[in-house]
Amino acid sequence: MSQQNKIQNPAVQLQKTPDMNDRDFINDMLATEKYMTWAYSTALNETSYSDLYQDVLDIFTETQNCQRELFEIMFKKGWYGFEAADQQKLQQSHQQFQGYSNQFPYNNQQIQ
């Protein structure tokens, strides 16, 4: 992958030691928050009692916001990057999924 297709800030350099550094700790927290939001999402789908649903939703939202903050910290420090989307691949995906919409039972009509 070429560097011009990479979306990332310059990385903050850390000393390499056998001990965990700031990047390792934040990366571990980010992975944990991602897992927790997935688990809370599943719980929301399975919860029937409305008060419990609201409590889990509040916790889910707080956890999701924490996950986003950790991502932003890692991105700002250059510890998290991603590949820029190729315009041709985007167009192909758009056309593919546009074709799928023709298979919907109501063909993009409003349900009354």
Q: Residue 87 domain-assigned?
A: no
Q: Which residue has the higher pLDDT, 2 or 25?
A: 25
Give the confidence band of 54 by pLDDT, cuts at 50, 70, 90: very high
The rounded distance, in Å, linking the Cα atoms of 25 and 14 is: 13
Question: How confident is the model over 38-49, as pLDDT tens digits?
Answer: 999 999 999 999
pLDDT value, residue 4: 60
**9 in any annotated domain:** no
Range of the domain at 71: 21-77
What's the confidence (pLDDT) of residue 16? Answer: 79
In a domain, 43, yes or no: yes
pLDDT (average), residues 58-79:
95
**Does the pLDDT of residue 95 top 50, yes or no?**
yes
Minimum mean pLDDT among 26-35, 50-59, 74-83: which range? 74-83
Q: Give every CB contact of residue 7 below 8 A, 6+ residues apart in sequence.
A: 81, 82, 83, 84
Main-chain phi, psi angles of 53, to 5 degrees: -55, -45
**13 in a structural domain:** no
Q: Name the amino acid, one letter, at 20.
A: M
In a domain, 106, yes or no: no
- DSSP per-residue string spanning 9-78: PPPPP----SS--HHHHHHHHHHHHHHHHHHHHHHHHH--SHHHHHHHHHHHHHHHHHHHHHHHHHHHTT
Q: In the prediction, which pLDDT does 43 show? A: 96
Instruction: Please determine, for residue 111, whether its predicted confidence score (pLDDT) is greater than 90.
Output: no
Report residue 8: phi and psi, to 5°.
-165, 145
Distance from C-alpha of 45 to C-alpha of 34, rounded to nearest angstrom: 17
Give the total number of structural domains in the chain: 1
